[in-house]
Amino acid sequence: MSTPHVGVLALQGDTREHLAALREAGAEVSTVRRLSELERVDALVIPGGESTTMSHLLRELELLEPLRARLAEGMPAYGSCAGMILLASEILDAGAAGREATPLKAIDITVRRNAFGRQVDSFEGDIAFDGLDGPVHAVFIRAPWVERVGPGVQVLGEAAGHVVAVRQGRMLATAFHPEMTGDRRIHKLFVDLLS
């Protein structure tokens, strides 16, 4: 396969950091804010941010259903933090009525939003990550955790007794922000899934 073209959903979050990490991992990259941009990419990264706001913006920009359809057709995706929430099949504590986080149903997991607590409860730590040599330094900011893992979902990492990294086929999700650390191994793992 030629160099994969990976889009980064550019509604909120560390868009530039993900673009840089993916570029360093060997991908061609671009931002995705419109349907035409979504249609041009081979895979998508959904960064952190606020999952209810991102869901609202996906609806407003008429991207929600096209994105859900691309994922259902097998487009690979990686979600960090809010991205993990959106890729889930079920979201607990999804938000206030009319402003809920909307699951894209790409990975068979149930996630709990803000499970580790509020902004002041954010933390960092080293965690073992299945498939990588040595631990990864994980930055958790109002992070979710996985409460249920469906069949076919591989647990890649845990923190404080909770699942915080998963893979299902060519879908990858972490509750933390690897783009903030300079460690490109998780982005490289995702790019390698595309070949």
Residue 74 labelled as part of a binding site? no
State yes or no: 125 annotated in a binding site: no
34 is annotated as contributing to ligand binding: no
Task: Look up 81 and say whether it is catalytic.
Answer: yes
Q: Is 51 annotated as a binding residue?
A: yes
Task: Please identify which of the residues 18, 56, 177, 187 carries the catalytic annotation.
Answer: 177
186 in a known ligand binding site:
no
Contact 90, 136 (CB under 8 A): no
Q: What is the 3-state secondary structure (H, E, C) of 146-162?
A: EEEECCCCEEEEEECCE
Question: Contacts for 153-160 with beta carbons within 8 Å, 24 or more apart?
Answer: 153/107, 153/108, 153/109, 154/130, 155/130, 156/129, 156/130, 156/131, 157/127, 157/128, 157/129, 157/130, 158/127, 158/128, 159/125, 159/127, 160/116
The active-site residue out of 17, 18, 56, 179 is 179
Look up 177 and say whether it is catalytic. Answer: yes
Is residue 141 annotated as involved in ligand binding?
Answer: yes
Q: Which of 17, 18, 81, 187 is catalytic?
A: 81
Annotated binding site: 49-51, 113, 141-142
**Which residues are known catalytic residues?**
81, 177, 179
Annotated binding site for L-glutamine: 49-51, 113, 141-142
